[in-house]
Each structure stands twice: as structure tokens, then as C-alpha cells.
Amino acid sequence: MPVIGIPLRYTKLSDERPILFLGERIRRTFQKAGAIILPICQVQDCDYINTKYNEYLPLTEDEKETINKYLDMVDGVVFPGGKKITPFDEYLLKRCIERKIPTLGICLGMQLMSCFNEKFEVYPNEEKSHFQDNDLELTHKVKIQKETLLYEILGKEEILVNSFHNYHVEINNDYKVNAISDDGFVEGIELADDVFSLGIQWHPEISYDFDENSKKIIDYFIDICSTL
């Protein structure tokens, strides 16, 4: 069984008690798919919910070494959805790519990948069509680009996906687009290299049990992590 690292988030409860948290759907789905989940703890004492990006301090060498120790123990890393990117996330992705550790980015995780080696920027969706109250439904079409890894995984030029995001991204030169929504938003990207680094804007961990395409993506990722 492959060991999949997933970064935790640090915040405080209403009574000010500090906690680390991970979305339970992520844990359940990847465990069901055959992975052992290794939580990657934050290395900075910054409240994820209330700290702004420009308020984070640069990572120290000791903090970077702690992240590398976690990566010594994993076969792959999942970057889940969330509210903001931190220096921890940026360094973690950089080291995964450098060490050729398979990575799967979901929603904000894909947005992190889209700004690799560049300033992180997201743009508000002009319409609310991509933010749904019920993320258990497949709500809009995505066109899969041929001659991409995502097309190889799915074998389809168009699929239906769920959606739960108010922001979208442009793309840089490190990753290439592999999926576009029917109204023109970037919905999937992948690293044009020998490293498995795939990002998708929708949430396959939510639709894993009832959507064959979501299952194919996660199962493929688990298989890749199992063989390295």
C-alpha cells in the first residue's frame, strides 16, 4: 500500500484551542482507494484561516528540513482544496517536483500548481456557474485535451464534473492545460515532464463513489505511487 502525504491546516477553535485539520472526504477516499494516509503537519505556527499570505514569514532551514523528512516517508502527495496558499505549500510542491514524487492537486491544489515558480494569483469567476451548493452532483462539462496524461487516464474528450470554486487561474509555462470548462476556464493542468504532477479544479474525492472518471483519476494516481 502506498503512503500518501496530505498537508494539514492549523487554526483555532472558537474557544481558542489550536487544532490541525484535514477534510474528512480526502482521508476516506484515498484510504478507500488503497493508500496509507500520512498527515504532513504544518511547520509554522500561523493560523491558516486568519493569517494573510503576506503575513507569513519565509521558511527557515530547519522548517524546510522538517518538510523533507516527511517527504522521505511518502510515495505521493495530495494537495487538497482550501482557502489560501502558504510558503509551506509552495516549498512542499517544489520539493515534490525536484524529488520526482507523484503529486495530485485538487481545486486550490491545482491553483497552487498553476503558479509554480511565479507569483500566486487567482481571479474571481465573473459568474457563479462554477460554485454549486451541492457538490455531490456533476454540474458542468469539461473538455479533455488530447495528447495529455489526463486524456490517457480517462480516454474521453468530454466529461461531466462537480464544481465548488469561486476563483479560476491562468496558466504559466511550467504546466500545460489538459482540461477546459465549456465556458473557457482552466479545469486541469499537468507538468510537461517525466514527473507525475497533475492538477484538476473539480473534486474527484467527493464523486469517487459514483463517478467512474473520478475513480479513474484517483486509482491511477494510487497505482503510480505504488510502482515507484
pTM of this prediction? 0.91
90, 67 Cβ separation under 8 angstroms: no
pLDDT: which is higher, 163 or 56? 56
Q: Who contacts 45 (Cβ-Cβ below 8 Å, separation ≥6)?
A: 10
Task: With CA atoms as reference, report the closest residue to 220 among 146, 155, 158, 143.
Answer: 155
What is the residue range of 217's domain?
Answer: 3-227
Question: What is the structure's pLDDT at 128?
Answer: 47
Q: Is residue 52 exposed (0-12), middle (13-18) or buried (19+ Cβ within 10 Å)?
A: exposed
What percent of the chain shows pLDDT beyond 90? Answer: 61
Write out pLDDT tens, residues 6-22: 999 888 888 888 888 88
Tell me the pLDDT of the chain averaged across its residues: 88
Write out pLDDT tens, residues 117-172: 766 665 555 554 555 555 667 878 999 999 999 999 999 999 999 876 566 677 76
78, 112 Cβ separation under 8 angstroms: no
- What CATH code is carried by the domain that includes residue 35? 3.40.50.880
Query: CA 81, CA 215: separation in Å to the nearest integer?
Result: 18
